[in-house]
Structure 1
Amino acid sequence: MTQDAKETFSLPTPATPATPATPAALAAKVRTLAPTATRSMQRVAETVAGDPAGCAALTVTGLAIRTGTSEATVVRTARLLGYTGYRDLRLALAGLAAQQQSGRSPALTTDIAVDDSLADVVAKLAYDEQQTLADTAAALDTGQLEAAVTAAAGARRIDVYGVGASGLVAQDLTQKLLRIGRIAHAHSDTHLAVTTAVQLASGDLAVAITHSGSTRDVVEPLRVAFERGATTVAITGRPQSAVTQYADHVLTTSTARESELRPAAMSSRTSQLLVVDCLFVGVAQRTYPTAAPALAASYEALAHRHR
């Protein structure tokens, strides 16, 4: 697949909805995937997320009229969210509406204003972080996570790529892995990342962390690692972005709505940290006989520095 083809919006193949997604997973998916959709599909997705009860009561024609779109757009949006058609989406919306009516607190307005008190800032950020973590947990594909854990637990070497805020998350993951005896390196310099990616092969693992999924400094080394035969993992908030073209496994993160005083990097970092923590704990569980002694040894080696 060419880069141009990858950047053209396309719908994922929907899974058979024998077991519809939970309301929490649906809400998380709407927030995560809406930015990758067309404008008309964004209107449908945002309307669905904002008023699940009202939308659950509408036919496909009714929702198309309400959003100023077409029936085809409504059906395409349902497919984007993982359903075979509008009927299954409508059932999930009814479940979400029932949950909200059962006592769940309504969403807070978390936009931070210049004149907000620090108490308000703390409350809004805390709520935003909680929502981001809940969305990420609800939308995280545990099958993909399981495969990534398996690859990391058996890898000869693990290289992690990330720049900016994602670079800090890459360092966090590698430091954890090193403490349980895994050979891991974080790379934020593109030249070094590509140079080391060339040395990877089957049995190695490369992990790319990028919220946008299109950061060239992260996509390029993952491409090289992929072409060299290494197992590759992408941690991204855009599951249909360029980086996933070179990923054997994709772990999707969520993010809060960006505002003037809260750039996307803040909330994307929070969700990325949750995902890498899940990955690390899974590896530690799989390799416990060697991980536990290694972790104990690292604690002992550093203990005198904390007295």
Structure 2
Amino acid sequence: MRYEVKETFARPAAPTAPAPPAAAPAPPAPAALAAKVRTLAPSMTRSMQRVAETVAADPAGCAALTVTGLAARTGTSEATVVRTARLLGYPGYRDLRLALAGLAAHQESGRAPAVTADIAVDDPLADVVAKLAHDERQTLADTAAGLDTAQLGAAVAALAAARRIDVYGVGASGLVAQDLTQKLLRIGLMAQAHSDPHLAVTNAVLLRAKDVAVAITHSGSTGDVIEPLRVAFERGATTIAITGRPGGPVAQYADHILTTSTARESELRPAAMSSRTSQLLVVDCLFIGVAQRTYETAAPALAASYEALAHRHAPRGGTSR
């Protein structure tokens, strides 16, 4: 049985005093622009993709264009150019032009990585290693550049104070879910990973305030992951989504969203391969952040686990004949 994502649920909240207006998020740094394009382009309309891919491919040339000029170059409208700039995180086209100028200067300095071709079926293994290594480095750099540290800090705080932590993921994301729970268990937190959608939902029903649920889904639309997150959200747990599509369905049930990047998908390199790399980086960031916040208890727990493993793998005593 596959779960379907239900309509958007507005979590009920007790009446509180009006909160002060939140400050607008800062636009992405120029170095993060290319990463934002790679992350968000798959979820854009075709016309917006043309704008995003054009500015990422030729930042110097596009920085010299007016909004009308860029619209003409990409065969789109001025409104599409402005919408693309805003989707990439810039208040308007003027801010995007400034970022493009900065990115062009960054590339001219010689620090921008070269783009390699996709892996071909007849590539020698040496080329496969080189191309994979390049793509992995780029994926990690893109994820680091696009990771919202305010969201990351809030997620770390929730995990560090959690009574119980449930992590949902299927397929390759399920392996990442297991990695996160294994790390959290070693510093004394109560965490469990769920790849079975039925068990995930039945466990999510038991979550309450001060519990945390983490959903890991590259596509942002995996029903078997979104459904338990929705249940946890409705039960009052703090919810976290680790996803490559921050505008996907999973976001409607996530209090905190941590965005991952991914390398170009090809016949021999499906999205699950490269998304796993970026997800593991985010998981490591979460773990280190939680370990820092809970150091007084995390350090002894880690030491005890190391000692237990060392004792288990030590050669047994006794004499040989």
What is the identity percentage for the equivalent residue pairs of Structure 1 and Structure 2? Answer: 84
Q: Aligned equivalents of 1:113 and 1:146: distance in 2?
A: 40
2:27–2:89 Cα contact (<8 Å) kept:
no
Whichever residue aligns with residue 60 of structure 1, its letter is V
Task: Determine the C-alpha separation between the residues in 1 that align with 2:248 and 2:188.
Answer: 33
- 1:25, CA displacement in angstroms? 1.4
8 Å contact kept, 1:24–1:135:
no
Q: Which has the larger radius of gyration?
A: 2
Aligned twin of 2:232: 225
1:296 aligns with 2:293: no
Structure 1 unaligned spans of 5+: 7-14
SS in 2 for 1:28: helix
Contact 1:28 1:136 in 2 (8 A): yes
- Give the whole-Å Cα distance in 1 for the aligned partners of 2:147 and 2:158: 17
Are 1:134 and 2:134 counterparts? no
Structure 2 spans left out of the alignment, 5+ residues: 10-22, 315-321
2:265–2:271 contact (8 Å) kept in structure 1: yes
2:67 aligned partner:
60
Which structure's residues are more often helix, by fraction? 1
Amino acid corresponding to residue 96 of structure 1 in structure 2: L
What is the aligned counterpart of 1:253 among 249, 260, 263?
260
1:271-295, CA deviations, whole angstroms, 9 ceiling, x for partnerless residues?
A: 0000010000000000000000011
TM-score of the pair, normalised by structure 1? 0.94
Matched, 1:119 2:120: no
Describe the SS at the equivalent of 2:95: helix
Structure 1 residue identity aligned to 2:193: A
Q: Which of 91, 102, 107 is residue 95 of structure 1 equivalent to?
A: 102
Cross-structure match for 2:86: 79
- Once the two structures are TM-superposed, the CA of residue 110 in structure 1 deviates from its matched residue by 3.5
Q: In 1, are the aligned partners of 2:41 and 2:49 still within 8 Å (CA)?
A: yes
Match of 2:258, SS?
Answer: strand
Alpha-carbon shift at residue 106 of structure 1 (Å): 4.2
> Runs of 4+ in structure 1 displaced over 6 angstroms?
none
Give the match for residue 153 of structure 1.
Answer: 160
Q: 2: distance between equivalents of 1:4 and 1:34? A: 25
Shift of 1:20: 4.2
Name the amino acid aligned to 1:208.
A
**Alignment size in residue pairs:** 297
Root-mean-square deviation (CA, aligned residues, Å) is 1.5
Paired AA for residue 73 in structure 2: R
1:126-168: per-residue Cα shift (whole Å, max 9, x none)? 0000000000000000000000000000000000000000000
Tell me the distance in 1 between the aligned counterparts of 2:119 and 2:220: 26
